[in-house]
């Protein structure tokens, strides 16, 4: 499968992307021979080389173009400080990536598909609610509400761990404003550790999909941003068809919050009896998940 390196600019910063042209004689092509493009990014602290390529390859083989990219500060994209998650900044990056994607050769600019997983599964809902030129949205195992996520994680991590996490977030945010270095914490670690994700088995699952550009670090200030995150706030404004893929035993992103967002967005909802990482390549539910994505896009784009 051909994969092309592409650079684009978001808010003055160079970002790194991959463009996957479709296979020849695509059945998705319009009269001019142009095809829809799927714009995708990873979830919480993920990079494009950490499990996105198998989804992109399946879609390109089916006749779609795909544009995968790294958010600013992550992977091969530039941006300082590194490893800092900005919700609004990542939404801006999606908008910039759409502009770059429709400029690629052979792309139908009127048929943009937004694809997201985990945290970016929430971002695509936000972006779609802000635009009227989106053809379809795929939101897989999405994190749509920071408050719901906090409540969801509380029984397993407890009050002491949450208080410590809040303290680190405040120290990082205040310290960087005063010119200091951010406080970094692991993205994922074993149960009882000070990582952001500590569910049993999550360290092994994340490492199984992690690519060479991924770093197991995140600016602790994410704890302050996450509490106010509400990707579901304007889901009812989305005009495009939405596929919401929910992992019913998801310990990372609360499935009940995703279900509510799906209802508001009038989405087609698919349920999988699995955990957060089990929809990635190498796990049991990848094939059903990507099959449903292609079926959904075939119905709405051909």
Note the pLDDT tens digit of each residue in 149-180. 666 554 555 544 554 655 565 565 555 665 66
Residues 177-213 have pLDDT tens digits of: 656 677 789 999 999 898 989 999 999 999 999 999 9
Stretch (H or E) spanning 112: strand 107-117
Domain positions in the chain are 4-149+230-301
Mean pLDDT of the chain: 91
Q: What is the CA radius of gyration of the chain?
A: 18
**C-alpha span between 18 and 53 (Å, rounded):** 9
- Cα-to-chain-centroid distance, residue 302: 25
Cβ neighbours, 10 Å, residue 106? 15
The size of the chain, in residues, is 302
Q: For the chain, which residues score pLDDT lower than 70? A: 1, 149-180, 223
**C-alpha span between 197 and 159 (Å, rounded):** 15
Give me the pLDDT at residue 221, please.
Answer: 77
CATH number of 4-149+230-301: 3.40.50.1820
Give me the pLDDT at residue 154, please.
Answer: 40
- Cα-to-chain-centroid distance, residue 206: 14
């Amino acid at each position: 499968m051909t994969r092309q390196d592409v650079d684009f600019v978001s808010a003055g910063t160079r970002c790194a992307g991959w463009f996957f042209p479709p296979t020849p004689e695509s059945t998705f092509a319009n009269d001019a021979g142009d095809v829809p493009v799927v714009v995708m990014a990873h979830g919480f602290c993920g990079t494009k080389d950490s499990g996105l390529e198998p989804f992109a390859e399946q879609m390109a083989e089916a006749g779609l173009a795909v544009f995968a990219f790294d958010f600013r500060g992550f992977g091969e994209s530039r941006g300082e400080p590194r490893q800092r998650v900005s919700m609004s900044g990542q939404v801006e990056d999606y908008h910039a990536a759409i502009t770059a994607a429709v400029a690629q050769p052979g792309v139908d600019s009127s048929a943009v598909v937004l694809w997201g997983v985990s945290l970016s599964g929430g971002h695509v809902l936000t972006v779609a609610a802000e635009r009227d030129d989106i053809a379809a949205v795929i939101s897989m195992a999405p994190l749509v509400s920071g408050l719901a996520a906090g409540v969801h994680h509380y029984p397993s991590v407890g009050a002491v761990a949450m208080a410590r996490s809040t303290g680190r977030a405040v120290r990082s945010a205040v310290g960087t404003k005063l010119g200091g270095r951010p406080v970094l914490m692991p993205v994922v670690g074993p149960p009882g550790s000070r990582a952001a994700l500590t569910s049993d088995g999550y360290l092994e699952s994340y490492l199984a999909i992690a690519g060479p550009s991924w770093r197991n670090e995140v600016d602790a200030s994410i704890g302050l941003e996450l509490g106010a995150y509400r990707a579901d706030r304007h889901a009812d404004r989305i005009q495009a068809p939405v596929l919401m893929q929910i992992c019913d035993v998801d310990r990372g992103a609360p499935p009940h919050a995703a279900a509510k967002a799906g209802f508001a967005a009038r989405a087609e909802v698919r349920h999988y009896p699995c955990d957060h990482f089990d929809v990635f390549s190498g796990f049991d539910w990848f094939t059903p998940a990507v099959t449903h994505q292609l079926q959904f896009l075939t119905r709405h784009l051909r």
